[in-house]
């Protein structure tokens, strides 16, 4: 059967045509020394065979079918895996500049949508692996799972058996169907199977509706309201972070994982609650001399993966909700955020993620751009390896991720690794031109929160 992009993957792919909404994920792995490059190339070779999309390109289908994955007949691993010397002073700032440019660059649509660059000769004898991929390939949690294929001992990481296995490309990728008649036939077959499933469940639904009419109406109303909150129009909270452009600035911060957990425990919250509370504290500080702000519109990806999902593709849904700018007490703010994020995870619309993505993908691009532009920021919390790992004999010292802004003013991604939370900020400089000032306020927001447990 034809391998069409899922609704969520097709949506991410389509909005990336706008440079302001370019959907590139960039990850940075800092190493204590240069790894064996032959080993690194071999790991990416294995990865590209285990996850077929890493040897595929996106090609359009005839209307109304979504785009589809097609194996690249001229796949050249050397184009995707490169080795360079560290630029400039060879320090972290020099490497972050490479990451900033990577976050803004587009992909060649004639080739698979990823690249990896090993950066040697960093100051102090270190090295770095800079990877970038289109968001249509996978989401943040999926990228961490895929990255486990690169490390020296994936079994040590509790990786699922299929992660480490090399799957023959021919058997891993379903055969593509060429003529349009066969494509339509395949799609029709899928539609028939879906209809059969609906017919099997319909009698039970009718019986339930007949026996409990009031409850059914209330349930339908609650679901409709949840769908509206997920996909309906929203207004932004900040009146100063309004402009949008295509230039990005990135910076990093790090905090001890246990310190963030201890601060969260004071308010009976989670690490994610503390993370959002710290970001909100920084935003309050940044907006203090920019007029009154009472709340921020945030988008939070919610992971929907399970143990049976294959590697690759997006298994998250984006939930939009409002976070109050106050109160000033960080413990009370965490408590409020815990309640708000808990409500998001209970939304009925989560069951309709794929349907929503397909519907939004049909909306006019001006509407999509305006609604994504009304998001103040995106915040992602991605768990990485809890224990130290190595790559080609080199120890991984730190990991950072820079997720796309997708029309928001900035994206902040927390990637935990070996008891440290590496926090990557990807900032739209049209929305936030005074990046250094913004950075100082965000770091102060984390310091304010961590002071709770001292």
Domain assignment present for 171: no
Single residue among 156, 176, 197 that ends a domain in this structure: 156
Per-residue pLDDT tens digits for 368-420: 777 788 999 999 999 999 999 999 999 999 999 999 999 999 999 999 999 99
pLDDT per residue as tens digits for the range 19-74: 999 999 999 999 999 999 999 999 999 999 999 999 999 999 988 788 999 999 99
Say yes or no: 197 and 271 in one domain: no
Percent of the chain with pLDDT over 70: 77
| The predicted structure's pLDDT at residue 163 | 37
Question: Are 11 and 95 found together in one domain?
Answer: yes
One domain for residues 84 and 129: yes
Q: What are phi and psi of 134, to 5 degrees?
A: -75, 140
| Residue 365 and residue 292 share a domain | yes
Could you tell me if 269 and 381 lie in one domain? yes
CATH number at residue 317: 3.30.559.30
pTM to 2 decimals? 0.82
Residues 225 and 254 in one domain: no
- How many domains does the structure of the chain reveal? 3
Rg of the chain's alpha carbons, rounded to an integer? 23
Co-location of 299 and 348 in the same domain: yes
At 66, phi and psi to the nearest 5? -75, 165
- Let me know whether 109 and 41 are in one domain: yes
Both 258 and 370 in one domain: the answer is yes
Cβ-Cβ contacts under 8 Å for 11 (sequence gap 6 or more)? 357, 358, 360, 361
- Residue 167 falls within a domain, yes or no? no
pLDDT of residue 97: 98
137, 156, 175 - which closes a domain: 156
| Burial class of residue 322, CB neighbours in 10 A (0-12, 13-18, 19+) | middle
Last residue of a domain, one of 231, 258, 284: 231
Beta strand pairing status for 420-428 and 390-391? Answer: unpaired
Tell me: pLDDT of 367 over 80.
Answer: no
53 with 138, same domain: the answer is yes
Task: Based on the fold, state whether residues 212 and 252 are members of the same structural domain.
Answer: no
> Does any domain span residue 104?
yes
- 106 within domain boundaries: yes
* Distance from chain centroid for Cα 97: 21
Domain carrying residue 220? 188-231
194 band by pLDDT with thresholds 50, 70 and 90? very low
Look at residue 182 and tell me if it is in a domain: no
Phi-psi region of 291 (alpha: psi -120 to 50; beta: other; left: phi over 0): left
Question: Do 305 and 435 lie in a common domain?
Answer: yes
More confident residue, 389 or 162: 389
Quote the pLDDT of residue 6: 84
- Residue 409 forms part of a structural domain: yes
Which residues have a catalytic role annotated? Answer: 135
Q: Is residue 242 part of a domain?
A: no
Task: Decide if 435 is inside a domain.
Answer: yes
Dump pLDDT digits (tens) for 273-326: 999 999 999 999 999 988 778 899 999 988 777 777 777 777 777 788 999 998
- Provide the pLDDT for residue 167: 35
Q: Cα separation of 172 and 174, whole Å?
A: 6
Average pLDDT, the chain: 82
The whole-number pLDDT of residue 352 equals: 61
């Amino acid at each position: 059967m034809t391998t069409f992009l899922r609704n969520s993957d097709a949506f991410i792919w389509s909005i990336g045509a706008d440079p302001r909404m370019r959907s590139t994920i960039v990850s940075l792995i800092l190493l204590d020394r240069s790894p064996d490059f032959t080993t690194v190339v071999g790991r990416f070779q294995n990865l590209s065979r285990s996850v077929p999309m890493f040897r595929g390109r996106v090609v359009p289908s005839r209307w109304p079918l979504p785009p589809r994955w097609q194996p690249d007949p001229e796949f050249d691993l050397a184009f995707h895996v490169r080795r360079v010397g560290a630029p400039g002073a060879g320090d972290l700032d020099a490497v972050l500049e490479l990451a900033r440019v990577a976050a803004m660059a587009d992909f060649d649509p004639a080739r698979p949508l990823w690249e990896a660059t090993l950066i040697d000769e960093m100051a102090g004898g270190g090295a770095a692996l800079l990877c970038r991929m289109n968001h249509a390939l996978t989401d943040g949690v999926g990228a961490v799972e895929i990255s486990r294929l690169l490390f020296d001992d994936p079994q040590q990481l509790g990786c699922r058996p299929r992660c480490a296995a090399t799957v023959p490309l021919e058997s891993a990728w379903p055969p593509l169907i060429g003529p349009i008649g066969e494509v339509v036939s395949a799609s029709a077959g899928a539609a028939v199977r879906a209809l059969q499933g609906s017919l099997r469940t319909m009698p039970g639904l009718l019986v339930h509706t007949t026996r409990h009419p009031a409850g059914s109406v209330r349930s339908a109303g609650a679901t409709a309201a949840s769908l509206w909150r997920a996909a309906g129009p929203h207004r932004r909270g900040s009146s100063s972070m309004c402009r949008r452009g295509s230039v990005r600035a990135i910076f990093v911060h790090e905090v001890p994982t246990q310190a963030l957990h201890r601060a969260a425990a004071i308010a009976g919250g989670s690490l994610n609650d503390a993370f959002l509370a710290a970001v909100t504290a920084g935003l309050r500080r940044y907006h203090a001399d920019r007029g009154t702000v009472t709340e921020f519109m945030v988008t939070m990806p919610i992971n929907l993966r399970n143990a049976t999902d294959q590697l690759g593709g997006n298994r998250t849904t984006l939930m939009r909700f409002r976070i109050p700018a106050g109160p000033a007490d960080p413990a009370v703010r965490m408590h409020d955020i815990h309640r708000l994020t808990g409500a998001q995870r209970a939304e009925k619309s989560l069951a309709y993620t794929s349907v929503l993505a397909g519907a939004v993908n049909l909306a006019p691009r001006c509407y999509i751009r305006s609604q994504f532009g009304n998001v103040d920021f995106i915040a992602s919390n991605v768990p990485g390896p809890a224990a130290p790992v190595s790559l080609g004999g080199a120890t991984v010292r730190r990991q950072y991720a820079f997720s796309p802004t997708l029309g928001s003013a900035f994206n902040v991604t927390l990637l935990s690794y070996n008891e440290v939370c590496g926090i990557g900020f990807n900032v739209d400089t049209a929305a936030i031109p005074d990046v250094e000032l913004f950075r100082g306020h965000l770091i102060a927001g984390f310091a304010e929160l961590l002071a709770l447990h001292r």
